[in-house]
Structure 1
Amino acid sequence: MMKQTMTRLSGERAERVEPSNLPSFEAPLRPKRQQVARACDSCRMHRIKCDNNVPCKGENCINKSPGERRTLPQAYREIDRLKQKVKELEEKLERQRNESSLVYTCARPQSFALTPPGSDSAQTPDSIGVSHNIVGKNQTIWGGVMTSTGQSPQKTWYGPSSLFYFVSRMNTYLSAIFKQLHPDDLIQLKSVAKTFATPDCNPTEDDEKTDTKDVNQTVSNEAYLTPTQEEYFLNLFWQSYHPTLVILDEAEFKRHYRSLATKPGQPRKPSPLVDIVIAVSMQVGMAVAQRNSPRVLSATEVGSDDPSIAGRIYYRRCQRLLYNEQEAPTLMTVQCHILSAVYTCCAAFQNMSHVALSLAARSAHMLGLHNKPPSDLPVATQELHRRVWWTLYAFESKVCMKFGRPFYTNADSTSCDLPAHDHRAASLAGSDFALLDENTTWLTYAFYNVELLLAARKVHTAFYERYSDFYSGNIGQVIYDDPPALGRYAEYLTTVMKPLDEWGESVPNSLKTRREGDGRYLSTDRSPIVMEQFVPPWLQRQRLLLESLYHVLKLNLYRPFICFPSTATESSSLGKTCLSHATSAAEHSIALTRIFHHVVTNTDLLVGWHEAFQWQWNAALTLAGYLFACPTSEIAPTVRESIDLSIAVFEDFGRSFGTSLGAATVMRDLAIKIDFLADILRGNNSTATLPIEPAAQSAQEPATDRCSTAADVIPSTNNIPFSQDLFSGSMNMAFSVDNSGDLDMLWPPIGNTADQWWIHTEPPGSNGLGYIFPG
């Protein structure tokens, strides 16, 4: 039988004792350890016993939370309490998310959302892509793009209705097709805004100088015009801008101008209103002078002598004087801000123009112009207030729709009636223009211009506010990733276009430009217009600008449905309505181009009219994008012909200011790419060539008439010969901004070095058609 033993420890020795040898008396029971509910921090750290007294027997009795209970049941109860608290907080947070529409979450870190990130990353096809934002729980907002449009590399945000958004989509598509980075700079105008930070023409290296930053610096009297010269430009204003921008009372302005006179031979007193009127007039007047000058402008460099910034010293003095009126604005303050927006817009300083409009809107609100004019004011003053407010409303609406940005003005909070345009109102307006007929006057244009922009803004708002109703964000990043949703969205646009159609039917005959034969007004039937003889230029210009603006607004609304080829659109064809809208955008662009081509080749009505040039630039890029997206459509030949007409229009405008010559060069470049891709698509591989600049040929290779082959133009990264199959493969791989994806996955070997880009040169006599391509 196994013997039981027990071990007794004493110090470091252990001896084995038999049970029989144990003492006979019973050992005392070990006392039960008292459980301590709270131990001091020192005892817990040294893992020693702690009594229930404070201070305890430990050497350093420190207890930072003496009231905290640490028994196991209490811990379980605390855990349950915290779980319940977390559950309540999660439910409360979920309710707030459902109720609030102000919490934005960027759906794609690489893309640009409605609230743009502060970082300024490198400009690549992926970084200029399009994204959507999450608003609330299941609502999405159509995002925009960040791009640099001025002299500074700082990027600014433009919405989906803007031309910059469309250009970014087209550039990314071209980058994918040609396997070359196609940055936005290749399709941007070389304007003074790209050369100078402000219309003051201060170079970048002069920004650190104190004298260029001092707003109180003065200009010598010799730099300003003489009274006779000022009168010339003021008279030009009354015949050019005044009939289309009815914010001044001519008679009142002339009284104000006479009050500024000092001693004979001395300069007049400064006035912000007079200064900005002269500055705006000089933009037109100097363009006319440049057109008649033997000096030829340059398309590659737009300097301080460009007519688009003529009169900048008057503009600068106006802004300095307006600074002192911010706290106590007047009606003249609002008028000056509106004209400042016109000046900066024509000089291509788009963001400065937008800022000037915001100042005008806020100043108008301070003066209560959005309300019904007080009855104690004279009738002429009441009508002037109405004209100023609604002209500002229309102008601001036009610019915000053009940029895709939120509106400042709001018609819902406006109690101001539309301005009158009858004979009595015209007689009180301070100008002496001929009466048109029983119901129309020179003020009628302003009325229908406001009506047109009210209708366009109504359609624009209804269209873009319903984006989340058709695209949920579950497929891809934007609506172009979901062709069925895009088709439903296109059908919805058709249902909200009625206000624009009704406006077209309401225009009086006196404001309509006639057509040859059976051509209809505001139509896209391509019928030639008829410029009536013995009609005053101001009326012809009113008719022309009213119809041109209609086509611009229409093509901007239809343009989002020009979809570039991609894997999504090829696997699931677009609906008929979507394709019809894309065709409508091209048709309105064709109509605008044909009208302008007829006008610039037969009249001088648009000489120096910078906004007309910007409309033509908008239409020309829309035509180019349509041909890239739909190269085999039925109207493709007509669209291609219209691109040539737009180049002719730009060349005519280029006789007045150099920016237009740069636009002609860009359109020639795009036309070459369009023809090149069209030849490949038709299977004419042998003729799908582009000219190579002779200077690019190797020094060892003799100059010949041989053009580069298609394989030279689109270098293969995988040593695959170029063919129609390769083009089809490129089409399948093309990820434009219409679709989510990373361009880096397409052609990883492509670098960002300058020698891998298309290098454009303009040798003498080449007409801007010379290219150097990477070998």
Structure 2
Amino acid sequence: MFTTFVNLEPDPNQQQGQECSPSSLSKTTRPKRHQVSRACTWCRTYRIKCDSSYPCRNCKAKGRVCSDKAGKDEVRTYPLAMKEIDRLKDRVRELEEQLETCKDKSVVVKEQEDEDNMAASRASTLHSGYPTPLSFYENKKDYNWDHVTPWIASSNQQCYGLSSSSHFISQMTSYLDNALQQRHSNTQLNLPNQLSQGHTRVNESNVSYDFSQSQEQYLLGLFWTAYHCIWPILDEAEVRAYHKSLWETSAISRLPSALIDILLAISIQHVASTSQRVEDGLVWSNDGSIVSRWFYSRCQTLLANELEGPSVTSLQCHFFSMIWLGNAGFVNEAHRTSAMTIRTGIMLGLHLEPPEYMSNVEKDFRRRLWWTLYALEIQLSMELGLPISVRFSQVSCSVPDDCSRPFVPLRSSASMLPGNNDWPTVASFTTHFAKQVLATRAIYTTFYRRCADVLGATGQNGVCSDSQALEGCAHFLHSLIGYHQAWLHQVPECLKSKRKCGGQSFSTDGSLLEVEPNIPHWLQRQRLFLELAYHSHSMSLYRPFIRFSQDMSCHLPLASGHAISCVKHAITITRIVHQILTETEFLNGWPKVLQWQWNATLTLIAYVLAYPAGSSKPAARKSVSMAIAIFELLSTECVGATSAANIARDLSAKADLLADRFQVSAPYLAPIDPFLELSGFGSAATSVSDGICSDLLPGSTGDQLSAYQATESCLDGPDFSLGSLSNIEDLDLEGSNLFDFLDFEAAVQMY
């Protein structure tokens, strides 16, 4: 078998063709790759070869970001990594030691910042351009305090705020001293309390004023009719059952009870201040206040045993003790009692949102209880110009819903309501009164903080000392009217007192109230209380702009306009009180009416003294005469009314004397409307939307025009802008939403 051999030598022609082909050369020969000490991050990740270029060929082809060029040649070994770890551990230990050293120094600042941030978050519904008013509830600075001579015989001075009547009386007294060249004591201008010589102590061991069961039931019935509609923090059915149980052991006397004693004390106060003194065997003489004081003292003795173990009942007793003190005219002691009441509520956890395990009735009751006492405490603090007991940022309890109805407080009047769902419940008044106080407090804290800044910059003792500073503060207060306006638009129609001749509710247009005969008395009282409280708050906010010493060469249109707004509210209070006292019995037995009217009378007389040629001087002087008539009507019911009438007559006579001197010594000055000369507000003074009745514009008061101007300036003013309003967001429910009712955008749309 033979094997065939094949020639394996290449063909010379074929070999020559292959050497000449470029494609064959590229396939057989490849450039040598440059060695690198360390591949880039991507190449190491994908475990592919890298080169020394930057970026490398692989990253450039894939469009990736190649690692830093400096890091490619960095040598990383395990020992170097351990050294780096040790270095970082040492650095961390050093920083921890520094942090521990600084922690004690910064903990207080950090807590304060957290509280301020929380307050700012919860107040986000307010205008973003304003300083957050909730943070001012702390009263960190004594910026609004002043020392005045007390009305009691003491060498010590008492400290009150610029918003207090005591400070206002001190200013008026100083002006009268200089103008009449005679000394006027502050005692002459203070309203005496019901116990004219101070607290008359009753010797409980020698005297007793115990009543029979039927007499106490009659007195408690007066309380449910007169006071429960304003301060609905009790369950009428439970209290009646509780009172009945106290008489089960004996038919002669009942078991001691602090709650029943304080309710009887308030009821006796009410009966002693009304013209009807004989009912169910109760014959009252001039010692009605002494009898009321005896029950109050016994209540305080019983409460002393519960200081270490407070309860809701003891808190209710403290609250009505505050009401009794306020009715008697002891405002300082009422303010002290309010602080104790607030602290008792805090110990009971009422300032916090009710727990989830509670029923809706219990939750509404706790909210209503807290906001009733907290709103009254805030109101007392503003009236005296003193700090509140608890900072607002610490309160998480939400305002009660005005649509809730945990119980019917006045079952006897429930059948009188018309058959519709538009009438308020017991919680409605509490809700809107609390919101009114909050809106007033927002203006109060923001405005007086601005006054503090102005006084700090000028070094003056008061804003009235510097005309430019006063006008600047007036412009700032002008921009804050939206707080009250936002509240007004949230008040339901059922809680507004209607006006005659097309007048607007809560206005100062001079229209009389329309008394509706089909409305139950408790609802009429709620309406009157809400409106009189609003005018009183507004009057107090404007009152700092009544200047007793004026530079006639310096024209301050907005400050003068605020003084007119102040006196307009005082005139409105006087007209409402006079009309209701002469036409109805809704205000009978209410000592608070005397306090409202007294503050309004001081404002009226102060305006006549400070502006003898003012445009509102004739109306103010006429209202002073009406106020004296009111005091004469109340003199048969209240001890302090007689003294108030005498003081008002004396002051009005001195005001007339000074006004006559001014008319003789000064040329005639035509009264002008300061709102027509406002600068910086465009045509706001004359431009009003179609939503306002044109027939009322000629009689519109200064505060109404100011409100319209503030609202319209929201659209183009530097402080208010529609964009800033649109940025307002709703607060989280856990943040209490306490200021959600201050909806400025809704207020703008109403005009």
> Normalising to structure 1: TM-score of the pair?
0.64
Quote the residue 2:543 is aligned against. 559
Measure, in 2, the Cα distance between the counterparts of 1:475 and 1:543: 44
Equivalent runs, 1:18-37 vs 2, <5 Å: none
Equivalent runs, 1:345-356 vs 2, <5 Å: 345-356=326-337
Quote the residue 1:244 is aligned against. 230
Quote the residue 1:537 is aligned against. 521
Equivalent runs, 1:136-285 vs 2, <5 Å: 141-150=143-152, 154-196=156-198, 198-200=199-201, 218=205, 220=207, 222-285=208-271
Measure, in 2, the Cα distance between the counterparts of 1:368 and 1:534: 41
Write the letter of the residue equivalent to 1:246: P
Q: 1:381 aligns with which of 362, 365, 368?
A: 362
How many angstroms does 1:499 deviate by?
1.3
Contact residue 628 and residue 648 of structure 2 kept, 8 A: yes
Deviations 1:260-280 (A, max 9, x none): 114443210011111101101
Quote the residue 1:632 is aligned against. 613
Write the letter of the residue equivalent to 1:448: H
Measure, in 1, the Cα distance between the counterparts of 2:155 and 2:221: 40
Q: 1:450 aligns with which of 434, 439, 451?
A: 434
User: Bigger radius of gyration, 1 or 2?
Assistant: 2
Write the letter of the residue equivalent to 1:460: Y
Measure, in 2, the Cα distance between the counterparts of 1:382 and 1:140: 37
Measure, in 2, the Cα distance between the counterparts of 1:232 and 1:681: 57
SS at 2:329's partner residue?
coil
Q: Label 1:659 to 1:158 Cα distance change in 2 as closer, same or farther (>3 A).
A: same
Contact residue 192 and residue 640 of structure 2 kept, 8 A: yes
Which range moves more in the overlay, 512-521 or 164-173?
Answer: 512-521
Measure, in 2, the Cα distance between the counterparts of 1:333 and 1:154: 33
Measure, in 2, the Cα distance between the counterparts of 1:337 and 1:407: 17
Measure, in 2, the Cα distance between the counterparts of 1:281 and 1:599: 21
How many angstroms does 1:347 deviate by?
0.5
How many angstroms does 1:424 deviate by?
4.0
Measure, in 1, the Cα distance between the counterparts of 2:340 and 2:322: 10
SS at 2:519's partner residue?
coil
Deviations 1:324-376 (A, max 9, x none): 11111000111111100000111111111111111100100001000112233
Deviations 1:405-424 (A, max 9, x none): 00113332222122233364
Measure, in 2, the Cα distance between the counterparts of 1:309 and 1:358: 26
Equivalent runs, 1:281-300 vs 2, <5 Å: 281-289=267-275
Quote the residue 1:395 is aligned against. 376
Deviations 1:192-239 (A, max 9, x none): 45402x2536xxxxxxxxxx6xxxx5465x521221111111000111
SS at 1:472's partner residue?
helix
Q: Label 1:321 to 1:596 Cα distance change in 2 as closer, same or farther (>3 A).
A: same
Contact residue 405 and residue 427 of structure 2 kept, 8 A: no
Tell me how many residue pairs correspond in the alignment: 526
The answer to which structure has the higher helix fraction is 2
How many angstroms does 1:521 deviate by?
0.7
Contact residue 222 and residue 267 of structure 2 kept, 8 A: yes
Contact residue 647 and residue 664 of structure 1 kept, 8 A: yes
SS at 1:158's partner residue?
strand
SS at 1:365's partner residue?
helix
Measure, in 1, the Cα distance between the counterparts of 2:404 and 2:344: 30
How many angstroms does 1:684 deviate by?
9.0
Quote the residue 1:484 is aligned against. 468
How many angstroms does 1:384 deviate by?
1.5
Quote the residue 2:421 is aligned against. 438
Measure, in 2, the Cα distance between the counterparts of 1:432 and 1:273: 24
Q: Label 1:241 to 1:424 Cα distance change in 2 as closer, same or farther (>3 A).
A: closer
Q: Label 1:155 to 1:507 Cα distance change in 2 as closer, same or farther (>3 A).
A: same
How many angstroms does 1:483 deviate by?
1.1
Write the letter of the residue equivalent to 1:464: Y
Contact residue 287 and residue 608 of structure 1 kept, 8 A: yes
Measure, in 1, the Cα distance between the counterparts of 2:408 and 2:500: 35
Which range moves more in the overlay, 414-423 or 587-596?
Answer: 414-423
Measure, in 2, the Cα distance between the counterparts of 1:173 and 1:428: 49
SS at 1:141's partner residue?
coil
How many angstroms does 1:430 deviate by?
8.6
Structure 2, gaps ≥5 residues long: 1-104, 113-138, 667-751
Q: Label 1:513 to 1:192 Cα distance change in 2 as closer, same or farther (>3 A).
A: closer
Contact residue 409 and residue 426 of structure 2 kept, 8 A: no
Equivalent runs, 1:353-432 vs 2, <5 Å: 353-422=334-403, 424-427=405-408
Percentage of matched positions with identical amino acids? 34
Write the letter of the residue equivalent to 1:593: T
Write the letter of the residue equivalent to 1:161: S
Equivalent runs, 1:689-700 vs 2, <5 Å: none
SS at 1:288's partner residue?
coil
Q: 2:561 aligns with which of 580, 588, 596?
A: 580
Quote the residue 1:326 is aligned against. 307
Q: Label 1:433 to 1:468 Cα distance change in 2 as closer, same or farther (>3 A).
A: same
Equivalent runs, 1:45-64 vs 2, <5 Å: none
Contact residue 145 and residue 164 of structure 1 kept, 8 A: no
Measure, in 1, the Cα distance between the counterparts of 2:609 and 2:287: 33
Q: Label 1:516 to 1:348 Cα distance change in 2 as closer, same or farther (>3 A).
A: same
Deviations 1:706-731 (A, max 9, x none): xxxxxxxxxxxxxxxxxxxxxxxxxx
Deviations 1:154-182 (A, max 9, x none): 54221100011111001000000011111
Contact residue 394 and residue 453 of structure 1 kept, 8 A: yes
Contact residue 309 and residue 347 of structure 1 kept, 8 A: no
Q: Label 1:595 to 1:427 Cα distance change in 2 as closer, same or farther (>3 A).
A: closer
Q: Label 1:189 to 1:659 Cα distance change in 2 as closer, same or farther (>3 A).
A: same
Equivalent runs, 1:39-118 vs 2, <5 Å: none
Contact residue 250 and residue 430 of structure 1 kept, 8 A: no
Quote the residue 2:12 is aligned against. none
Output the aligned Cα RMSD: 2.8
Q: Label 1:635 to 1:382 Cα distance change in 2 as closer, same or farther (>3 A).
A: same
How many angstroms does 1:620 deviate by?
0.3
Q: Label 1:362 to 1:429 Cα distance change in 2 as closer, same or farther (>3 A).
A: farther
Quote the residue 1:605 is aligned against. 586
How many angstroms does 1:286 deviate by?
1.8
Write the letter of the residue equivalent to 1:147: T
Quote the residue 1:315 is aligned against. 296
SS at 1:578's partner residue?
helix
How many angstroms does 1:146 deviate by?
2.7
Which range moves more in the overlay, 229-238 or 366-375?
Answer: 366-375
Contact residue 262 and residue 299 of structure 2 kept, 8 A: yes
Q: 1:593 aligns with which of 574, 580, 587?
A: 574
How many angstroms does 1:471 deviate by?
2.5
